[in-house]
Amino acid sequence: MTPSNEQSPTHARRRPVALVTGAAAALGLAAASLAGQAQAASTLTVAKDGSGMYTTVQAAVNAASAGDTISIAKGTYQEIVTVPTTKTGLTLKGATGNAEDVVIAYDRAAGYTDAGGNKYGTLGSSVATFSANNLTVTGLTVQNTFDKGAHPDITDTQAVAVTAQGDRQTFRNDRFISRQDTVLNWAPSATGQYRQYFYSSFVTGDVDFVFGNATAVYDRVNIQLRDSGAAAGGQNGFLSAPNTSSAKTYGILVTGSSITSSAAANTYYLGRPWHPTSDAVGQLVIRQTSLPAAVKTAGPWTDMSGYSWKNARFFEYRNTGAGAGVNSNRPQLTDSQAASYTAQKYLAGTDGWNPVG
C-alpha cells in the first residue's frame, strides 16, 4: 500500500480572445477583460454512441481547459481516467443526475503488470485519478471490477476505484465501488494542504477501503461493508486505514453518515493505522453515524503491521445503531472536543474553504 505518483500530460485547448480598445483600455481594464474571455468555461459532452463531442471520458479531459465542464451521457465507459493538475476547476458530471446511469469502470489491480512487466502498484491500480485542485465530480459511478477470486495468482490485490489527490475537491451524489482500497485520499506532499469533501454519496469495499494521508470528510455518505463470508466473530475486513502525518491536525472524518452491512455480527473493524513512514499517525473520527451489527463492538480498532492502534488518533462521538458502544477500547470525544472535529473545521484550511452541505 505505497502509492507512487503517475501523471499523464495533456494539452489545454486554446481559445481566441478579443482585442480590447477604447475606454476599457484607457481605464486599464484590457488585461482583466482578456483574462475573463480566455477563461470562459465550456461544456464538453461525452457519449458512447457518438452523439456527443467525444466517445471517451479521457478524450474530453485531454481536450478540456481549466474550468470546463464535462457532461457524460448514460452508459458504462471501460477506461482509465486521469485528470492532471493543470485541469483546475474542472467539473465531471453524469448527464442524468443519477450516478447509477453513468459508470466509469475498469479491471486493474496492484499486482497486474504493464507492458514492461512492472507491477502497477496501489496508485497505478486506480480507475480514476483526480489530481487537479478545485475539482467537482457529481452523478458518477467509478468502479474497479477486479475480482480476486478469479485471479488466485495475484497477491497484490489492492484495486483502487478513485484516487483523490488534489486540494478543494468535491464529490457529490457519486458511487465508488471496489473491495480493497476503494478510495485513496492522497496528499502527494504528506504535510501539504489537500482537502476532499464527499457528500451524499455511496462507498463500498472490504479492506482499508477509505484510506490515505489527505484531509477528507465523508458527510451524509452511505458506507457499505461488503460481506466476505466470515462467520460471526470472525474477520470480514477493515473500513479505513489512515496514515495522516503527525504534523496535521485533521485526517479523515465520517460524519452524519450511515454505515451498513449484511455481514455477520462482530466481523468488521472500523479502522487500523497505516504506518508506512515514521511520521504517520493516522487520524480518524467517526461521529453521529449509524453503525451496523457487523462492527466489532468490543473493540472496533486494531493494529496494523505491528503498529498499535492506540498510538493513532482514533475517536468516536455519539454514534448509534447495533454496532455502537462505549468502552475502554472505544475512545470518545467529549462535547467540547467534538466542536473542533466538524466538517467545517476539517476543510477550512488556510483559506476558509467551506463546501459543506
Q: Is residue 278 part of a domain?
A: yes
Over the stretch 50-106, which tens digit does the pLDDT of each residue have? 999 999 999 999 999 999 999 999 999 999 999 999 999 999 999 999 999 999 999
- Beta carbons within 8 Å of 162's beta carbon, 6+ residues apart: 126, 127, 128, 129, 130, 142, 171, 176, 182, 183, 184
Tell me how far CA of residue 81 lies from CA of 1, 52, 129, 299, 319, in angstroms: 21, 18, 6, 38, 36
Over the stretch 295-337, which tens digit does the pLDDT of each residue have? 999 999 999 999 999 999 999 999 999 999 999 999 999 999 9
Spatial CA neighbour of 223 closest among 236, 211, 210, 235: 210
Over the stretch 169-203, which tens digit does the pLDDT of each residue have? 999 999 999 999 999 999 999 999 999 999 999 99
Cβ neighbours around 76 below 10 Å, total? 13
Which one has a higher pLDDT value, 265 or 31? 265
Residue percentage of the chain with pLDDT more than 90: 89
Asked if residue 20 has pLDDT above 90, the reply is no
Is there a contact between 293 and 265 (Cβ–Cβ < 8 Å)? yes
> CA-CA distance, 76 to 60, in Å (whole number)?
16
CATH number at residue 150: 2.160.20.10
| Amino acid at site 298 | A
Structural domains counted in the chain: 1
Cβ neighbours around 231 below 10 Å, total? 11
> CA-CA distance, 108 to 98, in Å (whole number)?
25
> CA-CA distance, 158 to 110, in Å (whole number)?
5
> CA-CA distance, 232 to 237, in Å (whole number)?
13
Q: Is residue 11 part of a domain?
A: no
> CA-CA distance, 170 to 110, in Å (whole number)?
26
Q: Could you tell me the strand order of the sheet in which 183-185 lies? A: 81-83, 128-130, 162-164, 183-185, 207-212, 237-242, 268-271
Q: Is residue 140 part of a domain?
A: yes
Catalytic annotation, residues:
181, 208
Q: Is residue 295 part of a domain?
A: yes
Is there a contact between 271 and 314 (Cβ–Cβ < 8 Å)? yes
Is there a contact between 280 and 311 (Cβ–Cβ < 8 Å)? no
- Beta carbons within 8 Å of 152's beta carbon, 6+ residues apart: none
pTM confidence score: 0.90
Q: Is residue 87 part of a domain?
A: yes
Q: Is residue 36 part of a domain?
A: no
Q: Is residue 239 part of a domain?
A: yes
For residue 103, what are the domain limits? 43-348
Q: Is residue 67 part of a domain?
A: yes
pLDDT-based confidence at residue 3 (cuts at 50, 70, 90): low
Instruction: Give me the pLDDT at residue 39, please.
Output: 59
Q: What is the DSSP letter of 106?
A: E
